[in-house]
Amino acid sequence: MFHTFAFCCLCCCCQFGVFAGTDAVKSVSVMEGDSVSLNSSLTEIQEDEEIIWTFGSNGSLLAITDGVKNIIPDDIDERFRGRLELDKKTGSLTIMNITTEHAGVYTVEISGRNSSSTYRFNVTVYEGHAPCCDSVEAVLRLVATALMGVASLVAVVLLVNEVRASRGKTEKTEEIS
């Protein structure tokens, strides 16, 4: 019974994105005029890794780094000129003084000797003040988090009960012997 419950918990975790893979698109919201940093997921670029940032469905090249040299192309789309900063240590991309023209999907491809990963960020830029209608998403996230917490608590309680029951059976078996 415990194994079935644990399996169901893992399925729920995957469904709600707790273990989101590299195919997941991370939503990022930012106010116009602010800066936003898109995290490459690396703490430090390794010697054999290359990071490539692109924008939009046509994959316009924004930046490339290998941890030593940062390249922002001279022929970059005019809307990004002078607004991009690439972290040499992590490969994270910062867009400064963002406008609604910068809204869209950003992709980072991390290529190494033995592996490669792709992460996507859907950046939404709000004019003026933050929207008041994101409360549905906030409530859904809160409910999902609460459910995960309850599921974890139930799993721990069931595990403790199972351990206690197996100890009780062992003690009874020893008494009979």
Query: CA nearest 119: which of 106, 129, 133, 130?
Result: 106
* pLDDT digit string, tens, across residues 20-60: 445 689 999 999 999 999 998 888 898 889 999 999 999 99
The pTM of this model reads: 0.61
Structure tokens at 25: 């698109």
Domains of the chain, with CATH numbers?
22-131 (2.60.40.10)
